[in-house]
C-alpha cells in the first residue's frame, strides 16, 4: 500500500466551491467507506484542502480523485505527494498496516 498527501487548490470562485462542497463531501464518504481515506479538511486561511489517503499506486489514487466533483467541474487542482509513514500514533496502526478500514 502507498500513502499520499493530497492537496486540493481551488481555482474557481468561492460561490462555485460552496455549491459543489456537499457533492465533494459525499464523494469523500466513498473514500472513507472503501478505506482509501484517513482524514480530510480545509486548510486554514487558505484556498483549498488536504487529504491523507492510501491506495495501491499513484495512478490508482489519481483515478479515484478523478471522480471528485471539484475536479469534474474544473473548480480545483490536485497534487499528490507519496510519503512513507514510518512513525504514527498507534490508534491508526490498522489503517497503516492495511488490516482494516
Query: What's this model's pTM, rounded to 2 decimal places?
Result: 0.93
As to burial, measured by CB atoms within 10 angstroms (0-12 exposed, 13-18 middle, 19+ buried), residue 74 is: exposed
What is the Cα 79 distance to its own chain's centre? 10
Please list the ranges in the chain whose pLDDT falls under 70: 99-101
Distance CA 2, CA 10 (A): 25
Q: Please tell me the predicted confidence (pLDDT) of residue 12.
A: 96
Q: Which of the following CATH numbers is that of domain 2-96: 3.90.1200.10, 3.30.70.3270, 3.30.70.1060, 3.40.50.720?
A: 3.30.70.1060
Write down the domain spans for the chain: 2-96
In sequence order, what are the residues at sequence separation of 6 or more whose Cβ sits closer than 8 angstroms to the Cβ of residue 84?
3
Q: Please tell me the predicted confidence (pLDDT) of residue 62.
A: 98
Q: Please tell me the predicted confidence (pLDDT) of residue 101.
A: 60
Amino acid at each position: 500500500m502507498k500513502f499520499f498527501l493530497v492537496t486540493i487548490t481551488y481555482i474557481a470562485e468561492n460561490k462555485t466551491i460552496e455549491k459543489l462542497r456537499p457533492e465533494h463531501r459525499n464523494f469523500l464518504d466513498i473514500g472513507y467507506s472503501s478505506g482509501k481515506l484517513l482524514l480530510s479538511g480545509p486548510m486554514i486561511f487558505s484556498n483549498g484542502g488536504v487529504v491523507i489517503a492510501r491506495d495501491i499506486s499513484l495512478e490508482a489514487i489519481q483515478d479515484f480523485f478523478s471522480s471528485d466533483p471539484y475536479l469534474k467541474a474544473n473548480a480545483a487542482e490536485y497534487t499528490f505527494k507519496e510519503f512513507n509513514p514510518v512513525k504514527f500514533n498507534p490508534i491508526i496502526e490498522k489503517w497503516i498496516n492495511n488490516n482494516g478500514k
